[in-house]
Chains A and B, each alone.
Chain A
Amino acid sequence: MTLPNELIEEILLRLPVKSLLRFKCVSKSWSSLISDPQFAKSHFDAAPTQMLLLQTSVCAINSVIASVDIEAPLNGDDYVKLALKVPFNHKWKTLRLAGSCRGFILLTRTKYIHDQFHYMVFFMIWNPSTGFHKEYEAPFCSEVICGIGYDSSTDDIVVVAISQLESITKFHCLSSRTSSWSCIEVPVGYQFMKYSQQVPTFLNGALHWLVCSIDDRLKIIAFDVTTRKPSEIAVSHELVESQSYFIVYTLWVWKGYLCLWHPGKKPAEAEMWVMKEYKVQESWNKSLIFTNIRPSQPFDPICSTIKGEVFGYDYSHTLSYVKHDLTLVKFNEEGGVLDRQKQNRNWSTYGVLDCCMHTESLLSLPQDS
Chain B
Amino acid sequence: MVITAKGKEILEIAEEPEYVMLAKVEDLKMDMLRIVEEEEIKKIRLKTSDEATFEVEPSILKEMKRVQSLINTEAIDTSVAIPLPNITSRNLSRIIDFCWEHQYNTENLEEFKGRFLKSLNHQELKELLLAANYLNIKTLFDFLCNSFTDLIQNESPEFIRDFFNILNDTNSVKSMHAPAFQGSIDDD
Name A residues whose Cβ lies closer than 8 Å to a Cβ of B: 1-3, 7-8, 10-11, 14-16, 18-19, 21-28, 30-31, 85, 87-89, 91-92, 128-131, 133, 135
Contacts and interface: CB of A to CB of B under 8 A. Distances in A.
A91 B166 CA distance: 47
B172 interface: yes
Given A21-B179, A23-B157, 13 more contacts: A2-B165, A7-B133, A11-B152, A14-B146, A22-B176, A26-B160, A27-B166, A27-B167, A30-B166, A87-B184, A89-B186, A91-B187, A91-B188
A129 B141 CA distance: 28
B157 to A, nearest CB: 5
A25 B178 contact: no
A150 to B, nearest CB: 23
Interface of B: 123, 126-127, 129-130, 133, 141, 145-146, 148-149, 152-154, 156-157, 160-161, 164-170, 172, 175-181, 183-188
Given A3-B164, A14-B145, A19-B152, A25 B181 contact: no
Interface centre among A7, A31, A91, A130 (most CB of B within 10 A): A7
Contact of B145 (A10, A129, A133): A10
13 contacts: A3-B129, A15-B153, A21-B178, A22-B176, A25-B157, A26-B166, A27-B170, A87-B185, A88-B184, A89-B184, A129-B178, A131-B180, A135-B185
A109 to B, nearest CB: 9
A363 B89 CA distance: 43
Contacts of A14: 145-146, 148-149
Nearest to A16: B153
Interface centre among B156, B170, B186 (most CB of A within 10 A): B170
Contacts of B166: 26-27, 30
A24 B169 CA distance: 12
B130 A3 contact: yes
B149 A28 contact: no
Interface centre among A21, A25, A87 (most CB of B within 10 A): A25
A19 B154 contact: yes
Contact of A15 (B149, B157, B185): B149
A27 B169 contact: yes
Given A25-B157, A85-B181, A2 B188 contact: no
B184 A22 contact: no
B154 A31 contact: no
A11 B176 contact: no
A27 B168 contact: yes
B183 A87 contact: yes
A1 B153 contact: no
A139 B162 CA distance: 54
Contacts of B170: 25-28, 31
B187 A89 contact: yes
B169 A1 contact: no
A22 B175 contact: yes
A43 to B, nearest CB: 12
Contacts of B175: 22, 25
Contacts of B152: 11, 15, 19
B180 A85 contact: yes
Given A25-B170, A27-B168, A87-B181, A92 B187 contact: yes
Given A1-B127, A14-B145, A25-B157, A8 B164 contact: yes
Nearest to A8: B164
Interface centre among B154, B164, B178, B180 (most CB of A within 10 A): B178
A21 to B, nearest CB: 4
A24 B175 CA distance: 9
B144 to A, nearest CB: 9
Contacts of B157: 22-23, 25-26
Nearest to A124: B185
Given A10-B145, A26-B157, A3 B179 contact: no
Contacts of B187: 89, 91-92
Contact of B181 (A24, A31, A91, A128): A128
Interface centre among A7, A8, A22, A26 (most CB of B within 10 A): A26
B135 to A, nearest CB: 14
